[in-house]
Amino acid sequence: MTASTDKNKVDLFAAFFEKEIFLDKSDSLPFHQQVTEHLTHLFNAIISIGYIPTEWKKANNILILKQKKDKNQPSSYRPISLLSWIGKILEKIIKQRLTTVLDKRNIVPAHQSGLRTKKSTMYNITRLKRYAKDQLGKQRHSATIFFDIKAAFDSV
């Protein structure tokens, strides 16, 4: 089997799940166990060959009017991309696998809290507070710089 054949099979299998099983209008679904087994095989095949089905990467973009903004101004809208739900499940699986490997191998710096299990922005705030207290106790000067990146990604 060639890579393109594998990719075609993954695309066909993904399309089958999207259209024939999960978007079926009937009231019946295949048994939960069968669906789970098929999805497990599908996700493992996708991860194995490193190819995500094309349909799962397509987004339906909609614009949401920001609160108290002029609807006639383009900057008053926030774009939202609606993605395939099954693709989101795959992303969560990949994220979990990556997180596990990165944590086990201590690849991510200890001070990084973004996208880390059991860490949040409060983790870094607590570290900063502890550091500031320590420096004050030693009668040392320290400085902190904060950046307001509220609209940093509006132009992306």
pLDDT of residue 155: 53
pLDDT of residue 118: 78
Quick one: 19 and 36 in the same domain? yes
Quick one: 12 and 53 in the same domain? yes
pLDDT of residue 20: 56
Quick one: 58 and 87 in the same domain? yes
pLDDT of residue 39: 84
Cβ–Cβ < 8 Å for 38, 17: yes
| 151 found inside a domain | no
| 91 found inside a domain | yes
Quick one: 74 and 136 in the same domain? no
Q: How many structural domains comprise the chain?
A: 2
| 156 found inside a domain | no
Quick one: 129 and 77 in the same domain? no
Q: In whole angstroms, give the CA distance from residue 115 to residue 112.
A: 8
Sequential pLDDT tens for the chain (156 residues): 444 567 776 776 666 666 655 555 555 555 566 777 788 888 989 999 999 999 899 999 999 999 999 999 999 999 999 999 889 989 988 888 888 888 889 888 877 877 777 788 788 888 899 999 999 999 998 888 877 776 666 654
Domain enclosing residue 18, as ranges? 3-107
| 127 found inside a domain | yes
Instruction: Please report which helix (H) or strand (E) contains residue 38, including its range.
Output: helix 32-49
Q: In whole angstroms, give the CA distance from residue 119 to residue 114.
A: 7
pLDDT of residue 144: 86
pLDDT of residue 46: 92
Take residue 66 and report the two structure tokens written for it: 């920001």
Quick one: 46 and 102 in the same domain? yes
pLDDT of residue 156: 45
